Each structure stands twice: as structure tokens, then as C-alpha cells.
């Protein structure tokens, strides 16, 4: 039996002759995905044509001897993602929907 793939959605393209062609967007089998990158810090920049997301990880020092010299801490970048404004807006909408569901499920107000 083949590896399981997950359907994420559908995308429609209009061909040169005006005909629409629909494609399914699938996620590759989970075991074929790149390894996870943990991030606890993000920096987002943009130009008129693209948004750039830098995801990094800042670790707290275990003791004072591990504190950086001077007043700067370099952020090791785990991932860099560049998106068109349209793709970034789709990401924002998807994130906001997920965040709303997360809040309802895990952050219920305590009375």
C-alpha cells in the first residue's frame, strides 16, 4: 500500500484558451516532509512585492557566564519564507482562523 497523502484544497487555473483547469493541492506523506524547525521568535519584513518571514530561536542562558558579551544577541535563523502579498494574506487568514479555534479550545476564560 502506498504512502498516505492529504488533500489540502483545490486551485483553479485559467489556461490561455480561457478554459479552467482544477488541481487538487495535496500534502506529501508526513514521513517525506522536511524535519521540524522550532522557533520562538519571528521577524517579518516586506517590500511592495513580497513578504519575508524569518523564524529563529533564542535560548535563555543557563547561567550568567553564558550571557553574550556586549548588548547584542544574534538570532539563529531556523527558516526563511518568502511569499507574495496574496499568499501572505492567505497565510494570515488561515492563521487567524486557526488562532480563533485554538483560543476557544485551550484558552477558555476562567470564572
For residues 70 and 29, give the distance between their C-alpha atoms in angstroms, rounded to a whole number: 46
- Residue 111, pLDDT score: 46
For the whole model, what pTM was predicted? 0.66
* pLDDT score recorded for residue 62: 64
Alpha helices (H) along the chain: 85-106
- Summarised one tens digit per residue, pLDDT across range 62-104 is 667 777 777 777 778 989 999 999 999 999 999 999 999 999 9
CB burial of 88-109 (b: ≥16 within 10 Å; e: otherwise) equals beeeeeeeeeeeeeeeeeeeee
Among residues 57, 52, 62, which one has the least CA distance to residue 76? Answer: 57
What is the percent of the chain where pLDDT is above 90?
A: 43
Residue 7, Cα to own-chain centre: how many angstroms? 18
At residue 43, φ and ψ (nearest 5 deg) are -125, 130
86: helix, coil or strand?
helix
pLDDT of residue 46: 97
Amino acid at each position: 500500500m502506498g504512502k498516505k497523502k492529504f488533500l489540502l484544497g483545490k486551485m483553479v487555473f485559467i489556461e490561455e484558451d480561457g478554459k479552467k483547469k482544477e488541481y487538487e493541492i495535496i500534502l506529501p506523506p508526513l514521513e517525506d516532509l522536511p524535519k521540524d524547525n522550532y522557533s520562538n521568535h519571528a521577524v517579518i519584513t516586506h517590500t511592495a512585492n513580497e513578504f519575508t518571514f524569518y523564524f529563529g530561536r533564542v535560548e535563555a542562558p543557563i547561567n550568567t557566564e553564558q550571557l553574550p558579551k556586549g548588548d547584542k544577541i544574534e538570532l539563529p535563523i531556523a527558516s526563511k519564507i518568502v511569499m507574495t502579498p496574496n499568499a501572505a494574506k492567505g497565510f494570515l487568514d488561515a492563521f487567524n482562523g486557526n488562532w480563533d479555534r485554538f483560543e476557544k479550545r485551550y484558552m477558555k476564560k476562567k470564572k
